[in-house]
Each structure stands twice: as structure tokens, then as C-alpha cells.
Amino acid sequence: MSTEPEARGLDAINPVMRQAWYIVATSGEVRGKPLPRRIHDKPLVVWRDGEGKARVFLDRCPHRNVPLSEGAVDGGGLRCGYHGWRFDGTGACVEIPALEGTPDAPARRATALPVVEQQGFVWVWTAPEVEPTCQPFRFACADDPRYTVVRKALRARGSLHATIENALDVPHTAFLHGGLFRRSDTPRKPIRCVIQRWHDRAECHFHGESAPTGLAARLLAPGGGELTHVDRFWLPSITEVEYSMGDDTHLVLNGACTPVTPWETIVFAVVSIRSPMPGWMVRPVVEPIALRIFDQDAVILAQQTDLLHTFGEARFASTEIDVLGAHILRMMRRVERGEHAEPSDQPETEKEVTMWL
């Protein structure tokens, strides 16, 4: 008979970080028509004003509660399709057809959210009542001309935390993705893992890992050389897997995760690669493998989400090789409670474990 792990409510494993920047769309998606999106289950409308500036409003006309995304961009403003109310980029009401007198009034404004557009992404700050306290994340190598950059928006039916833990979880790769980049049938050897957590990030360095032996790896890093591997998480929702092989191969896989609903996450993946392989070959080699891996993860995340809802509770039994998941949950819950740790260069915790890979 089992002694089951302690039961926790689903909210306890799914913190909500409302005061945060998330990617709401790629720059290319925001064109002539207003774009309906959702973050934290709140409908948003993304559009460009007369000066080409990306704008994000709550997707609700203050007059009669119909979605502004069903209206149209018109005269540099956003116009509702029911009574034709028109709003400028700040949310001010600038036209009410048939009304005598001035259209704008506090209660007649659309709710605008802070927006930053950079590196091909539109980021939104999801707490309209609070000024942003930081800047959105920048992808370090994405603007560097030496790198080939592949972008992809991927949808997972998993919570923000489960999706992030999965993206940074090493033990499942040899099993679930067996054959794709780690093998489950070759002899394993001990890897030393150094885990550190700071106030706003956590990372794990893997020491002693063998270079992958698959075709893709040999194409990307023909010269071989020593492998270094670091996994990183930044609050609120950024993952990074970094590999270096020798001097001339560098691979950075970032995922900027957006909580669409409590149980659905979009991963805006940005893969930056510097390699002796010619740039035009990188994408066709990397993309099919990455998508296959992501598909397998998406299936597992959906199974986990369904099961958690069927049971109505979570029972997780972690081991020491679940290196980052528990740290990330702790950091996310701190943000949910509005606690802000003192910034410091010193890690809050540091630990070393052995993983057989």
C-alpha cells in the first residue's frame, strides 16, 4: 500500500503572476486587422495605431461589452462594430456617432495596457493599474549577425509552471525523447550538476556530459570538442538551454512562455545558433527535430493537465534529480504573493547532485 505524496490544490502548483511582461504576439501578426489574444484568460486586442505603434487593450468596448477585436482599425483608431465608438491608441474615446457633445469621458475609455515592441515581439504588461517595474527580457544572441535565429510559437495544454519545468527537465529527455538527442540504450555515466538560485533566476550547470552523437549534432559541430551545458530560468517565464561545443559552436534555446489560460501556455521559442555549418542549412536540420521533441512534450503536458483536473489535486514526489522545477515553483509563488527578494549577486541557494545520463 502506498504512502501517497501530500495532496495540494491545483492553485498551489499554478501561481498567477499578473504584474509581468509576456509576449502577446509576434510583430508580424499585428497588421491591418485587430488581433484577439488572451493572457491569464483575459481577452486582449492587439492593433497598430496611425503611427504604426503596437497597442494592446482589454478586448471589451466600455459601452456595451462587445469585443473590440470584432471591430476595425479605422482612421488611426480602433472602432467597435456595434455602435461605432472609436478609440485612439491611448484608449480615449474620440468618436460616438449620433451623440451631441464631446465623446470622451473616463468611463468611456478602453483599457490600454503598457506595450514594448522589440526583437520582433510585442510584449504586454498585464497589470494595467500598476506601472511596469522592469523591462521585458531581451534574447541575447537574437540580434547578433553571427547567429542563425529560428522562431516558432508553440502551444502546450499545460500550466505555465509545468511547461517551464518540462522545458528545463533533463531526465525525461533520455526517456521520452529517446533516440532524438539523448539515447536511453547506451551506457550512462555520472554527470555533476551544480544548481544555483538567485532572487530572479535559477540555473543548473552540467559537468562531464558527453557530446551528442546523432547526425544533427555532427552537422552542427563537425569539429567535436568539449561540451558545456547550462539550463536557466528567469522570472517570470523565460527558459534557456545553452550548449557550447568547442570554440565555434554555440546553441541557445530560449522559450518565452505566455500563460494564455491557467492550463494553456504559448511558448515563443527563439533558437539562436552559431556553427561552422552554413546558415542556410541550420534551420532544415534543427527545426524538424525541435518540433518532434515539442510534440512529444505537448502530449505529456496535456495528459498531466487532464489527470490533475480529473483528480482535482496534485501529488508530486520529487527526487534530487528534479533539479530546477521546485526552485521555479518557489520563485513563481513568491511573485504571486507580491514578495520581492533583495537583488544580489550571491545565490540564495547552491547545491550539487549527480545525474546518470
Residues that bind its own copies (CB under 8 A): 1-5, 41-43, 59-60, 62-67, 70, 81-84, 91, 96-100, 105-112, 128-129, 170-172, 174-176, 184, 188, 190, 300, 303-304, 306-308, 310-311, 314-321, 354-357
Residue 103, SS3 per DSSP: coil
Cβ distance to its own copies smaller for residue 82 or 234: 82
Kindly state the smallest distance separating residue 298's Cβ from its own copies, in Å. Answer: 13
Distance of alpha carbon 59 from the chain centroid? 22
Kindly state the smallest distance separating residue 243's Cβ from its own copies, in Å. Answer: 18
Kindly state the smallest distance separating residue 223's Cβ from its own copies, in Å. Answer: 28
Contact 9, 125 (CB under 8 A): no
Residue 248, SS3 per DSSP: coil
Cell 471591430 appears where? Answer: 71
Kindly state the smallest distance separating residue 272's Cβ from its own copies, in Å. Answer: 28
Residues in the chain, total: 357
Give the full edge-to-edge strand order of the sheet including 42-48.
35-39, 42-48, 54-58, 112-113
How far is 324 from 172, CA to CA, in rounded Å? Answer: 13
Contact 296, 176 (CB under 8 A): yes
Cβ distance to its own copies smaller for residue 281 or 307: 307
Kindly state the smallest distance separating residue 141's Cβ from its own copies, in Å. Answer: 29
Burial of 145 (0-12, 13-18, 19+ CB in 10 A): exposed
The residue type found at 120 is G
Distance of alpha carbon 192 from the chain centroid? 28
Cβ distance to its own copies smaller for residue 135 or 303: 303
Contact 20, 338 (CB under 8 A): no
Kindly state the smallest distance separating residue 310's Cβ from its own copies, in Å. Answer: 6
Cβ distance to its own copies smaller for residue 59 or 240: 59
Cβ distance to its own copies smaller for residue 140 or 180: 180
Cβ distance to its own copies smaller for residue 66 or 116: 66
Cβ distance to its own copies smaller for residue 282 or 314: 314
Task: List C-alpha distances in Å: 258 to 160, 183, 202, 247.
Answer: 7, 31, 19, 34
Kindly state the smallest distance separating residue 292's Cβ from its own copies, in Å. Answer: 16
